[in-house]
Structures are given as structure tokens and as C-alpha cells.
């Protein structure tokens, strides 16, 4: 009576068969995704590496100054300079490329889904448990199916990162649109605005600060996957951390780890500054 009965419901076997079915019947589709994603990552990485290090630091300083403060700009520039002194500049550009591609694709997918769930109670009810599962599932689990579809490297890391980072932008896009002042919506309707005009010219601009908060959270979650993605062959700072763990190299592990922290601070403060400016602009417009 103290032992659980020997009953097994093979849910995992069903998921495995479904993954095998997709891999066997949609290989051309996954090859297409691999080629496009790989080209995007390599192109962005090459573009970032082509920019002189000092010019990129100036750009980071300017963004920090404009969206935060002069102190913030100087601090962000110092962070990037320190990363260069760690001899991790190429790996940092690779990590930025992976994060940017992941975030862009997450936004392309997530914002339309957020709009859909905002206008459809049925879709919202369907997506809520799915998003809950996506947010609570351990990030390592996402690596298991993607290695069936793609060769080891940056692409499976990007796909796993997109799955992991999607929920915040979907949820906050829905929340932002649902919280738009109904008086503003009714005023737009009284002036004869069409559904698309109301969405593009009223609801999305009013919801933009909340959506930007979702962009911020999605970006931070994508950066958090940097080390996890290295387990499926992703390059960059995460790969350096994993290498340091395998070699018990405390120096390299600390430098690569603190470089990820520097990037996280820079991205968080700049995107947060963008969200605050948009919120202020929205209040001034209102």
C-alpha cells in the first residue's frame, strides 16, 4: 500500500513519436529554416565584426546616454571595453547576433499572437495554459527536440531560445491592448475608424509601453539562454562558459560569465529606457 501502483501512461512516448513524424515528413521545411536562420546569424555576426571596436563602443555610449543618462552611457562603454580586454570580442558579437535574431523572430511571432489573443477570448483561453507550460518548462528540455530537426550549432540554439522567450511578449502585448482606455477606443469608433485603423493608430500606440516591457523581458530571457544554447553547439560567450566548466578554468569562466552580465545590464537599461520614453510620449500625447 505504501508503493505507487505499477501503472504507466506513456505520454512521453507519444511526444517522441510525434517528433519522429515531424522529422521524417517535414525535413525539407526544417532544412529551409536552417539555411535561412544560419544565413541571418552569420550575416549579422559578420556585420558586427566589420564595425571597428571603438565605433561600436561609441554607439553603445550614445544609446546609453540618450535612453538613460550620461553616467549610463559611460558605464556601458566601460563594460564593452572590459569585454574587449578579456579577448572575448568575437564571442560577444556572436552572442549578440544570436540574441538579436532570436528576439526579432520572437517579436515577429509573438506580437501578432498577442494581438490575436487580445481580441479573441477563445484564443486567449487556449494560449494561457500553453504559455504557462512554456514559461515553467525547464529551458534544457527545449534543446531535446530541436537537435532532432537541426544540426548542432547556432540554429538549434536560436529555435530553443525563441520557444523559451516567446511568452512575455505575447502576454504583455495582450495585456497592453486589453488595458487601452475604452473611452479612447469609443472616440475612435465615433469618428468612423475601421478595425485596422483603430488597431494601428489607437490601440497599438497606447499599448506600446507595455509591449516594450514585453520586448525587454523577451530580450533578457533570450540572453539567459546563451549558456544553455552552448550545449547544442551554439558559439559565443555561452560556449566559453561551458568550456571553462569542462576545464575548471575559473579565470575564463568568470570573464565569460561577467561579460554576459555586462550585456544583460546594457540591454536591460537601454530597452527599459526606450519603454520609459514611449510611456512619457504616450502621456504627453494624451
3-state SS of 208-255 is HHHHHHHHHHHHHHHHHCHHHHHHHCCCCHHHHHHHHHHHCCHHHHHH
pTM for the structure as a whole: 0.86
164 touches 142 (CB < 8 A): yes
User: In this structure, is residue 275 part of a structural domain?
Assistant: yes
User: In this structure, is residue 220 part of a structural domain?
Assistant: yes
User: In this structure, is residue 115 part of a structural domain?
Assistant: yes
Average pLDDT over residues 190-196: 77
Tally of domains within the chain? 1
Classified as helix, coil or strand, 120 is: coil
Q: What span, in angstroms and rounded, lies between the C-alpha atoms of 230 and 152?
A: 10
Q: What is the pLDDT of residue 281?
A: 65
User: In this structure, is residue 249 part of a structural domain?
Assistant: yes
Residue 35 has pLDDT above 70, yes or no: yes
Q: What is the CATH number of the domain that holds 110?
A: 1.10.3720.10
Q: What is the pLDDT of residue 208?
A: 84
Which ranges of the chain would DSSP assign to H, the alpha helix?
Answer: 11-25, 27-50, 53-67, 70-85, 89-119, 121-136, 143-149, 154-178, 182-190, 195-198, 204-224, 226-229, 237-247, 250-285
Average pLDDT over residues 25-46: 88
Report pLDDT digits (tens) over 263-284: 999 988 988 888 777 766 655 5
231 touches 140 (CB < 8 A): yes
User: In this structure, is residue 191 part of a structural domain?
Assistant: yes
Q: Tell me 157's DSSP state.
A: H
**What is the band of 96 on the pLDDT scale with cuts at 50, 70, 90?**
very high
Q: Tell me 203's DSSP state.
A: I
Average pLDDT for the chain: 86
**Cell 569562466 identifies what position?**
253
User: In this structure, is residue 141 part of a structural domain?
Assistant: yes
User: In this structure, is residue 201 part of a structural domain?
Assistant: yes
User: Rounded to an integer, what is the distance from CA 234 to the centroid of its chain?
Assistant: 15
Report pLDDT digits (tens) over 139-160: 778 787 788 888 888 888 888 8
Report pLDDT digits (tens) over 111-142: 999 999 998 889 989 989 988 888 888 877 87
Q: What is the residue range of 24's domain?
A: 11-50+86-285
Average pLDDT over residues 243-263: 91
Share of the chain above pLDDT 70, in %: 97
Amino acid at each position: 500500500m505504501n508503493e505507487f501502483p505499477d501503472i504507466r501512461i506513456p505520454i512521453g512516448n507519444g511526444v517522441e513519436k510525434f517528433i519522429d513524424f515531424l522529422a521524417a515528413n517535414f525535413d525539407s521545411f526544417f532544412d529551409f529554416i536552417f539555411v535561412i536562420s544560419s544565413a541571418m546569424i552569420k550575416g549579422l555576426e559578420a556585420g558586427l565584426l566589420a564595425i571597428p571596436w571603438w565605433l561600436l563602443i561609441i554607439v553603445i555610449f550614445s544609446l546609453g546616454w540618450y535612453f538613460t543618462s550620461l553616467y549610463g552611457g559611460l558605464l556601458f562603454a566601460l563594460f564593452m571595453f572590459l569585454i574587449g580586454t578579456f579577448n572575448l570580442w568575437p564571442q560577444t558579437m556572436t552572442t549578440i547576433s544570436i540574441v538579436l535574431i532570436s528576439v526579432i523572430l520572437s517579436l515577429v511571432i509573438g506580437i501578432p499572437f498577442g494581438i490575436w489573443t487580445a481580441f479573441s477570448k477563445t484564443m486567449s483561453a487556449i494560449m494561457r495554459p500553453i504559455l504557462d507550460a512554456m514559461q515553467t518548462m525547464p529551458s534544457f528540455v527545449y534543446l531535446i527536440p530541436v537537435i532532432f530537426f537541426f544540426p548542432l550549432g547556432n540554429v538549434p540554439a536560436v529555435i530553443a531560445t525563441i520557444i523559451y522567450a516567446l511568452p512575455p511578449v505575447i502576454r504583455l502585448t495582450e495585456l497592453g491592448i486589453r488595458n487601452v482606455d475604452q473611452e479612447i477606443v469609443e472616440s475612435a469608433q465615433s469618428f468612423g475608424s475601421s478595425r485596422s485603423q483603430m488597431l494601428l493608430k489607437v490601440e497599438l500606440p497606447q499599448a506600446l509601453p507595455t509591449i516594450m516591457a514585453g520586448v525587454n523581458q523577451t530580450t533578457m530571457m533570450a540572453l539567459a539562454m546563451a549558456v544553455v544554447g552552448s550545449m547544442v553547439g551554439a558559439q559565443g560567450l555561452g560556449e566559453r562558459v561551458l568550456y571553462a566548466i569542462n576545464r575548471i578554468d575559473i579565470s575564463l569562466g568568470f570573464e565569460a560569465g561577467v561579460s554576459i552580465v555586462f550585456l544583460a545590464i546594457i540591454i536591460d537599461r537601454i530597452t527599459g529606457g526606450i519603454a520609459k520614453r514611449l510611456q512619457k510620449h504616450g502621456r504627453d500625447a494624451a
